[in-house]
Amino acid sequence: EVQLVESGGDFVQPGGSLRLSCAASGLTFSNYVMGWVRQAPGKGLEWVSAITGSGDPTTYADSVKGRLIISRDNSKNTLFLQMNSLRAEDTALYYCAKVDSTSGRLGAFDIWGQGTVVTVSS
């Protein structure tokens, strides 16, 4: 069974940094595009970033470009999100998700973790 488990969420002050992790199991991790999606309190889902199986290229939402950095360690089956210069509007539940690379499935997120909470406040 494929599983994704996020960790690293915390309470941090504006301007601070945090690194989220997503541990994957039950799959050949390096074969898959992975992404981060967040949900701010009372809001809907927002796509944040994605990374190919090899680690390059990476893509970002405009709202996080230059502040959040996605990376992965395929030897440890782990996805990361380095969060710098955090703002109150980054407060959210952060999910990691796997992209289904099967032909014809057109890039849907087929597996999601349970999420980790980031709170940015003074």
Partner 1 sequence: DIQMTQSPSSLSASVGDRVTISCRASQSINTYLHWYQHKPGKAPRLLIYAASNLQSGVPSRFSGSGSGTDFALTISSLQPEDFATYYCQQSYDLPRTFGQGTKVEIK
Q: Which residues bind partner 1 (CB under 8 A)?
A: 35, 37, 44-47, 50, 59-62, 95, 97, 100, 104-110, 112-115
Closer CB to partner 1, 1 or 75, in the complex: 1
Spatial separation of the C-alpha atoms in residues 13 and 111, rounded to whole Å: 31
- Least distance (Å) between residue 87 CB and partner 1: 18
- Map residue 30 onto helix, strand or coil: helix
Closer CB to partner 1, 6 or 86, in the complex: 6
Closer CB to partner 1, 106 or 122, in the complex: 106
End-to-end alpha carbon distance in the chain: 40
Pairing of strands 116-120, 3-7: unpaired
